[in-house]
């Protein structure tokens, strides 16, 4: 959260992504981890909020993943996900990292 507050990273989102975050965070399997976390709404409010990307021929195993891929492609942002298998066939211009790899990258800077 400090990196967001200090402007070291910028989170990009759109209405479809925000809705997906909120929906997933409410799943019962995450309740034992304290979800939804109190910081989720703060992170959303501090994100760069863009309009939903237009649908293209981009496809994947889960249609709910399309906005993540499209927004990363449009903005040049890195896509950080704990579900790498859903993003194995993204365009080459989209860099997909696990949270651990992204944090490692941030620590290396």
Pairing of strands 79-80, 12-13: unpaired
Mean pLDDT across the stretch 36-48?
87
Give the whole-angstrom CA distance, residue 9 versus residue 11: 7
Pairing of strands 79-80, 96-97: parallel
Summarize the confidence of residues 74-97 as an average pLDDT: 88
**pLDDT the model gives residue 49:** 94
The dihedral over CA atoms of 42, 3, 25, 60, expressed in degrees to the nearest 10, equals 120
């Amino acid at each position: 959260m400090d990196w967001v507050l200090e402007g070291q990273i910028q989170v990009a989102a759109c209405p479809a992504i925000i809705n997906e975050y909120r929906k997933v965070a409410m799943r019962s399997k995450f309740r034992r981890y304290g979800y939804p976390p109190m910081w989720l709404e703060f992170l959303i409010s501090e994100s760069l909020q863009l309009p939903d990307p237009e649908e293209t021929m981009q496809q994947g195993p889960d249609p709910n993943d399309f906005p993540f891929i499209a927004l990363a492609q449009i903005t040049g942002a890195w896509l950080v996900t704990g579900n790498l298998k859903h993003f194995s066939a993204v365009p080459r211009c989209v860099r997909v990292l696990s949270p651990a790899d992204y944090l490692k990258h941030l620590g290396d800077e």
